[in-house]
Amino acid sequence: LCESYAAFTKSYHDTGLFGFYGVTDRTRCEDFAFVAMMEMTKMCYDVVEDDVTRAKNQLKASLLMFQDSTQAVAESIGRDLLMHGRRIPKAELMARIDAVTADTIRDVADKFIYDKCMVVAAAGDAQFMPDYNWFRRRSYLLRY
């Protein structure tokens, strides 16, 4: 469906940005967009606690493994200062991660994804990329 896919986030003290990107060819562009939007919107309705636990464990492991060089530590300190105005101790960071539940994910997704405007960008041969309204209509699910 796509050659590569990744989610990203940029957090600051009073604002932030999150999203995803993918690389695909022009014939699979709409299929990729459909699956990606379905997965994003699904967070508003269907979050499995096992998936949340797995994601929390992966996040904690990556945060701890990221601290292997002085450059990484400096980046971590800078990020903490931008987001919180202070250095966050590892114990507090792990406690904050552990506090996240499936309900937390659903609440945040409902606030920032469900029926919300978004930004869509494409580069390259985007002839078959769905238009903005197509994406907007898929930011919610109609359930009867």
pLDDT of residue 14: 81
CA atoms within 13 A on the CB side of 78: 7
Other CB atoms within a 10 A radius of the CB of residue 56 amount to 16
Q: Which helix (H) or strand (E) holds 22?
A: strand 16-23
pLDDT of residue 15: 84
Question: What single string gives the DSSP state of each residue in 76-144?
Answer: HHHHHHHHHSSPPPHHHHHHHHHT--HHHHHHHHHHHTTT--------SS-TTSPPHHHHHHTSS----
Contact 18, 7 (CB under 8 A): yes
pLDDT of residue 67: 79
pLDDT of residue 142: 64
Q: Distances in Å between the alpha carbon of 95 and those of 14, 63, 67, 70, 88? A: 22, 13, 18, 24, 11
Q: Which helix (H) or strand (E) holds 19?
A: strand 16-23
- CA 38, distance to chain mean position in Å, is 14
Look up the pTM and report it: 0.79
Q: Mean pLDDT of successive 10-residue segments in the chain (144 residues)? A: 88 84 90 91 92 95 85 89 89 95 94 90 87 89 61
pLDDT of residue 143: 59
pLDDT of residue 56: 96
Phi, psi of 11 (to 5 degrees): -120, 140
The token pair that represents 51 in the structure block: 């998936």
